[in-house]
């Protein structure tokens, strides 16, 4: 098992974290290998299916160069199940002090979601300065993140939700954004058809993203 880097370092590994919903654990290993080979080594597997924990365990065992985390972690039970499966980091859609305490006890980095200044303040009070901005597009997108930068100059974000290859550069241009989360890197239609070539092409485009020219 590889050592998990600090959360900020982990999020700087690539401009995009693929947000993966896996319904068949058999695709986990070829999917992870495809994404890592394309330059996206940090993978978030959402706990939205019964195959998620098995997929995380399979990725950790077969693709050691990947950094695999569990997403959509809602409570302490899910957190402990995800850690037991080998999750190296945890992502939740919102902020929960209870979940934060559980993650600290497990010794695994937590990236909690926030959408308002009050939630950012609650997360900072819990000792967190690296947060998920979710749902990014619906919560105000780039203008909202610009607005949050002034009162919270020490906080960095991974915006997720409604971001695609076209809009990602505008987020990546912001100084308070470390990376973005994106589900469109591995769409269900390509996973279901086993089109890893197509996924690889999307992943390479995502790995090459940077701030939009002139941003």
Edge-to-edge strands, sheet with 156-159: 156-159, 130-133, 110-114, 89-92, 67-71, 42-46, 16-20, 180-182
Task: Tell me, rounded to whole angstroms, the distance of Cα 149 from its chain centroid.
Answer: 20
Task: Tell me, rounded to whole angstroms, the distance of Cα 91 from its chain centroid.
Answer: 7
Q: For residues 19 and 13, what is the distance between their CA atoms, to the nearest angstrom?
A: 15
Residue with tokens 């998620």: 52
* 136 closest CA partner among 174, 172, 163: 163
- Which residues, 6 or more positions from 12, have their beta carbon under 8 angstroms from its beta carbon? 178, 179
Active site residue 166: no
Residue with tokens 């995800």: 82
Q: Which is catalytic among the residues 44, 65, 119, 192?
A: 44
Q: Which is catalytic among the residues 26, 65, 119, 132?
A: 132
Assigned token pair, 210: 């940077």
Contact 190, 27 (CB under 8 A): no
Active site residue 44: yes
Active-site residue list: 44, 132
């Amino acid at each position: 098992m590889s050592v998990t880097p600090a959360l900020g370092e982990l999020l700087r590994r690539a401009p995009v974290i693929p947000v993966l919903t896996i319904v068949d654990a058999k695709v986990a290993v070829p999917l992870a290998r495809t994404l890592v080979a394309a330059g996206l080594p940090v993978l978030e597997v959402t706990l939205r299916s019964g195959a998620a924990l098995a997929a995380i365990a399979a990725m950790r065992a077969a693709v050691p160069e990947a950094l695999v985390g569990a997403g959509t972690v809602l409570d302490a039970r899910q957190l402990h199940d995800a850690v037991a499966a080998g999750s190296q980091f945890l992502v939740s859609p919102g902020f929960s002090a209870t979940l934060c305490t559980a993650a600290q006890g497990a010794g695994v980095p937590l990236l909690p979601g926030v959408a308002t200044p009050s939630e950012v303040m609650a997360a900072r009070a819990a000792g967190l300065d690296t947060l998920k901005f979710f749902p990014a597009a619906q919560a105000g997108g780039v203008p909202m993140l610009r607005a949050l930068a002034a009162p919270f100059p020490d906080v960095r974000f991974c915006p997720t939700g409604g971001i695609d290859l076209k809009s990602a550069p505008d987020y990546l241009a912001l100084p308070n954004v470390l990376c973005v989360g994106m589900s469109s890197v591995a769409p269900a239609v390509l996973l279901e058809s086993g089109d890893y070539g197509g996924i690889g092409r999307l992943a390479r485009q995502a790995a090459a993203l940077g701030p939009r020219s002139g941003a």
